[in-house]
Chain A
């Protein structure tokens, strides 16, 4: 496969919270259509890395490009200054994000949750937004709950709606931040099913997950992180079966023991 310009390009990314260095120089490319899983022990920086991609966290140092556009910063001459609120919002609109705690809007119905972005951010016609939302509800298997409110839904149902809400913006990239970690075990499957379908349709995805078998079967590339560094990156088979790196092997062994 010929290397085209990557959709996401991360260069020399550092992130500190106070004295704590959470990311210590991350370089990463994500090609169009690629599915990347980030795995690693908690505190390894994978969620922070994901949140830097849509600038919910501001990197301490380093650059992130989406479609060759610098995110969160703009160049004034040769100096980089923080992006304005409007410009940042416009960039984020093209990047879908799914949160561990769903974060649906509790004062809005399922349908209203999904059409809010298309209506108020993209200024689409209501009829068009509703039609799109209904397609997405069908896709995530939630058409029956169109008029329900979030608190009436199970965690798995809420997360599927959250995925539909993100997709309604027609993003070019989807970020999943431990999308199944807050779910009861019997509800994990329905959310992974929706994510798998999305992957098969060719969506570019960066997935922070503890679901190792899912990561193995869906990803093109798996990245193992520890202590703010990328320890190893490769196809799922290399990471999960044939790793030559002791740190990776001990992590994989530990999570597969139960």
Chain B
């Protein structure tokens, strides 16, 4: 027979669950936002390095990209969180996660940025050069503003992926959503209800992000067409 008492108990505990998971959601959002900022800044530098005329810069960026892209993110997190303690560096769990996801995301975003810059027609740079712009100025005033619009969908995809991937940080004791959920499960054994809530919260956060990205993209297009 279906045990209704467990469900009943679970519904009684719902406010407690939501409270704890809410705290976890804030940590997840904070971790995602901070790692995203690190990834954008570093990824942008890497993209410029890969497009640079200097062979050394291109090589450094490529090596970075290949290493970060081909080692699982969980392994990278473990190295940052556990491994560095052996050489005397102890990072707080959340700090290690921000750095880990940021460094890893930079590799992914640098590819998004590089591809976006590549889509801008060469004639645009040539026109900028022809009115006396240096390479740096042409990039800043002509190429990047156009490439940014191209990059938005890729950046949004990355952000949504990042939001979900931060659940891996639970393995490194970061008190984010998934970590909190597992804690609640071991505390109350309300497995089904808690993981169902967890899924709903991730879904709500991801959909909000997608909606936000789509609106930003649309707004930039409208500006251009008016």
Q: Is A97 an interface residue (CB 8 A)?
A: yes
Contact check, A92 vs B132: say whether CB atoms are below 8 A apart: yes
In the A-B complex, the 10 residue pairs with the closest CB atoms: A93-B132, A117-B131, A103-B127, A97-B130, A103-B123, A121-B132, A89-B134, A85-B134, A107-B145, A89-B132
Contact between chains at A95 and B130 (CB < 8 Å): yes
Interface residue total, chain A, C-beta cutoff 8 A: 32
B135 touches A85 (CB 8 A): yes
Over the window 187-212 of chain A, the binary record of Cβ atoms lying under 8 Å from chain B Cβ atoms (1 yes, 0 no) is 00000000000000000000000000
A-B contact pairs, 5 of them (CB 8 A): A99-B127, A105-B124, A117-B132, A121-B132, A121-B137
Does B225 make an interface contact (CB < 8 A)?
yes
B127 x A105 contact (CB < 8 A): yes
> Whose C-beta in chain A lies nearest to the C-beta of B127?
A103
Residues of A within 8 A of B123 (CB): 99, 101, 103
- CB of B91 to closest CB in A, whole Å: 41
- Interface bits B114-131 vs A (CB < 8 Å: 1, else 0): 000000010110111111
Is A104 among interface residues, defined by CB-CB distance under 8 A?
A: yes
Given contacts A93-B131, A120-B133, A121-B132, 19 further A-B pairs with CB under 8 A are: A54-B129, A56-B130, A85-B134, A89-B133, A89-B134, A89-B137, A92-B132, A97-B127, A97-B130, A99-B126, A103-B121, A105-B127, A107-B224, A116-B131, A117-B133, A121-B133, A121-B137, A149-B224, A165-B131
Q: Can you list, as one digit per residue, whether each of A140-166 has a CB less than 8 Å from chain B (1) or not (0)? A: 000000000101100000000010011
Interface class of chain B by DSSP = helix
Instruction: Check A121–B130 contact: CB distance below 8 A.
Output: no
Contact B130–A92 (Cβ < 8 Å)? yes
CA A168 – CA B146 in complex, angstroms? 23
Q: Would you call B126 and A92 a contact (CB within 8 A)?
A: no
Bound-state CA distance A232–B124 (Å) is: 34
- Is B20 on the interface with A (CB-CB < 8 A)? no
Instruction: Say yes or no: is B168 at the interface (Cβ < 8 Å to chain A).
Output: no
Q: Flag whether A86 is at the interface (Cβ < 8 A).
A: yes
A169 at the interface (CB under 8 A from B): yes
- Name the distance in Å between B80's Cβ and chain A's nearest Cβ: 39
- Chain B residues lying within 8 Å of A89, measured Cβ to Cβ, are 129, 132-134, 137
A96 close to B (CB within 8 Å): yes
Cα distance A190–B51 when bound, in Å? 40
Cβ 8 A contact of B141, one of A56, A85, A116: A116
Choose among B127, B137, B226 the residue that contacts A120 (Cβ–Cβ < 8 A). Answer: B137
Query: A124 at interface (Cβ–Cβ under 8 A)?
Result: no
Collect the chain A residues with CB atoms within 8 Å of residue B225's CB: 149, 151-152
Question: Counting chain A CB atoms within 10 Å of each CB, which of B127, B131, B224, B226 scores highest?
Answer: B131
* A31 → B minimal CB distance (Å): 22
> Contact at B224–A169, with CB atoms within 8 Å?
no
Q: What is the bound-complex CA distance between A137 and B148, given in angstroms? A: 29
Complex contacts, A41 vs chain B, CB 8 Å: none
Q: How far is the CA of A99 from the CA of B127 in the complex (A)?
A: 8
**From residue A8, how far is it (CB to closest CB) to chain B in Å?**
16
CB atoms of A166 and B133 under 8 A apart:
no
**Digit string of A111-134 for contact with B (CB within 8 Å is 1, else 0)?**
000001100111000000000000
Query: Taking the complex as formed, is B209 at the interface, i.e. its CB lies under 8 A from any CB of chain A?
Result: no
- A97→B131 CA distance, assembly (Å): 8
Tell me whether A80 is interfacial, beta carbon within 8 Å: no
Given A106-B224, A107-B224: A121 and B127 within 8 A (CB)? no
> What are the residues of chain A within 8 A of B127 when measuring CB–CB?
97, 99, 103-105, 162, 165
Task: Give the Cβ gap from B208 to chain A, nearest Cβ, in Å.
Answer: 28
Flag if B126 contacts A56 (CB, 8 Å).
Answer: yes
Which residues of B have CB within 8 Å of A93? 131-132
- Asked if B142 is an interface residue, CB under 8 A from chain A, the answer is yes
**How far is it, in angstroms, between the C-alpha of A103 and the C-alpha of B141 when the chains are bound?**
14
Q: Which chain B residue has the least Cβ–Cβ distance from A165?
A: B131
CB distance from B2 to the nearest CB of A (A): 61
Bound CA–CA A54/B226 (angstroms): 34
Query: Shortest distance in angstroms between B128's beta carbon and chain A's nearest beta carbon?
Result: 8
Q: Does B132 contact A166, Cβ atoms closer than 8 Å?
A: no
Q: Which residues of B contact A151 (CB under 8 A)?
A: 224-225
Q: How far is the CA of A89 from the CA of B225 in the complex (A)?
A: 32
Which of B126, B131, B136 is the one whose CB lies under 8 Å from A121? B131
Q: Which residue of A lies closest to B145 (CB)?
A: A107
Nearest CB on B from A94, distance (A): 8
A90 at the interface (CB under 8 A from B): yes
